Chain A
């Protein structure tokens, strides 16, 4: 069993990141291989300055807010929490003075970030069972949402255990040792990560996150990268 744990926690993580980076580059290269559009196509009425509207379109989804306000609330909550989550994971690596502008404990959000994410994901998932979204959903949509939900739920459980139930066997220092060692290419697994009662959560979390990363370049998740240039194209 410890071998399986090791494979998930070390080689598979490296593999996932490799697939993620190479795949994304290939996917982007595929687009840039095509001849460029001669001149951009504006959508009317043209609003100036274009780049500012592009940023608004990309990060605030005004079209969604206009047509589907409820979806917009969930989308905004989801994406903001995703950003907080990213910051949280970075802080597991090291202390960043920038993020401590608002003083907080690691991990960020006292467990609520994960909770909101899980709720949003469930909303996105159940939205897919109603027409017209039902009719256009493909298996990939369900697969991605469920996968992401699993990542979030196992990740959050570790957080909830620490922040709500004072579970003390796996500490921030343990995570930090593990993640830093991965970054330094000298993988090291602290005792608690594989032998404590909650280590299965970590292992499942990392396992699903690996799958998620490996699937990223081949799926619609690439919208994270494409949405800015796409909106720029639309604004001309």
Chain B
């Protein structure tokens, strides 16, 4: 497949990753050793030790299903890491002559590892469900990502957003002033639409029930998406607020594999809630953002948050419908609607039924993909691939399985709950001429609201 299509060469452009030191070649080994030490847990070690080479994982990986290339079978991907750990990081074996070495691994090995970790795996975790031993290749490869991140070898789409997030507070570099202005503009528009004079959106309101964290893209480029979400919150009579300190669900540092960087970004959201004393946090549709705030941050801190679990806005909508706080016009959209389960929200996040309840309330023609729910295939845009421009072609190739799945349902609209998935499925729709519309669940609900 793409084995020779693209040289892996992001290292010379932007070697500086936030939070990591310089990258003189001589010290790279030391950095990687530290990354291994920090990230190699009992679980990963156990996973590396218990593969039986049964090959069950092949059919579960959308890369293999799409390309049939034996190099992208999950076991072959993490084998590259295993080999590197054995020959260069093992305390004894790395000292054996003709076998190991204490020096920097050669370029070929590093390039193979980079390809396996960043290009050929979206960390979707479907293989963990299929493996009889429960080996999660995604988790193993986040160790590889951490190692590569420690020497600054990252795809460009995972460098700048994180840098900007550290400097400005969100990955797009949107200033607080712009954000507030945009929110005011949205308030005006929304006020006109629903016919309420002097409608305002509460910014930095203390003690609100829900702190809604938008996706910065919503706040800058796609204000209508943000408007949809706010309209639903308003219609439900929710006591909500948005923060002018943090308005970024995105956490690309998680895809870098660097747990510390991930927490630095996540901390900002926690601080924002702390400042406003909001009771809970609701997140805009974002797969990995949800995963980080719902599970990974707590895992990193080693304790539960002292506020109710972070929710995706879809869970809120489901609750509103259930409690009768919002009413929806059924079948406003014609044609069958299907739902794509984002890996980080369904399989690795646990939000499986709420979006289905919502869609059942919206349409009587809801069709499921096969397989669905936790066993759904990754769209191919996860793992930070959708944020890197160079990976466009790769994403389309890897998304063939998803395109087939969508075509099989015969749906006119694909609803989903994740920005990366939306981008990716739109690209797939173009490349494979699926003739579908890709919409966020929030958008569908908002358009069908009966005020």
On A, residues with C-beta under 8 Å from B are 27, 30-32, 34-39, 41-46, 57, 61, 63-64, 67-68, 71, 131-133, 135-138, 140-141, 220, 222-223, 226-227, 229-231, 233-234
Contact = CB atoms under 8 A, between A and B. Distances in A.
B348 interface: yes
The 4 closest A-B pairs by CB, nearest first: A135-B70, A234-B134, A226-B50, A133-B55
B60 to A, nearest CB: 8
Interface string B249-264: 0000000000000000
B112 interface: no
B377 to A, nearest CB: 13
Contact of B352 (A42, A45, A222): A45
Given A131-B70, A234-B134, A67 B59 contact: yes
23 contacts: A30-B45, A31-B45, A31-B49, A34-B44, A38-B299, A39-B299, A41-B299, A44-B350, A45-B350, A57-B134, A61-B132, A64-B132, A67-B56, A71-B54, A133-B54, A135-B76, A136-B55, A136-B70, A223-B51, A223-B133, A226-B49, A230-B50, A233-B134
A61 B59 CA distance: 16
B423 to A, nearest CB: 24
A137 B75 CA distance: 10
A63 B56 contact: yes
Interface centre among A34, A38, A136 (most CB of B within 10 A): A136
Given A46-B350, A220-B50, A226-B133, 16 more contacts: A30-B45, A37-B43, A38-B299, A42-B350, A43-B128, A44-B348, A44-B349, A45-B350, A57-B132, A64-B54, A132-B64, A136-B75, A140-B53, A223-B52, A231-B133, A233-B134
B133 A41 contact: no
B52 A44 contact: no
Nearest to B55: A133
Nearest to B48: A31
B49 A233 contact: no
Given A132-B58, A132-B73, A141-B53, A43 B302 contact: no
B133 A34 contact: no
Nearest to B47: A230
B351 to A, nearest CB: 8
A135 B46 CA distance: 24
B291 to A, nearest CB: 11
B271 interface: no
B374 interface: yes
Contacts of B40: 34
Contacts of A233: 43, 46, 134
Contacts of A39: 298-299, 302
Nearest to A235: B134
A43 B352 CA distance: 12
B367 interface: no
B347 A43 contact: yes
Contacts of B346: 44
Most buried by A among B60, B76, B133, B299: B133
A10 to B, nearest CB: 32
A198 to B, nearest CB: 34
A222 B299 contact: no
A30 B46 CA distance: 9
Contacts of B373: 45
B135 interface: yes
A137 B55 CA distance: 8
A41 B139 contact: yes
A114 B132 CA distance: 25
Contacts of B128: 43, 234
Contacts of B135: 230
Contacts of A136: 53, 55, 58, 70, 73, 75-76
A44 B374 contact: yes
B129 A222 contact: no
Contacts of B52: 220, 223
Interface in B278-325: 295, 298-300, 302
B110 interface: no
Nearest to B75: A136
A55 B100 CA distance: 39
Contacts of A132: 55, 58, 64, 70, 73
Contacts of A35: 41-42
Nearest to A127: B55
B101 interface: no
Nearest to B44: A34
Nearest to A138: B53
A158 B231 CA distance: 79
A137 to B, nearest CB: 6
B244 interface: no
A30 B245 CA distance: 45
B130 interface: yes
Interface in B73-88: 73, 75-76
A63 to B, nearest CB: 5
Contacts of B130: 63, 67
A175 to B, nearest CB: 31
B131 interface: yes
Contact of B46 (A38, A41, A141, A229): A229
B23 to A, nearest CB: 26
Nearest to B58: A132
Given A32-B42, A46-B350, A38 B300 contact: yes
B192 to A, nearest CB: 41
A51 to B, nearest CB: 14
B137 to A, nearest CB: 12
A88 B76 CA distance: 38
A93 B348 CA distance: 49
Contacts of B50: 220, 222-223, 226-227, 230
Contacts of A227: 50, 132-133
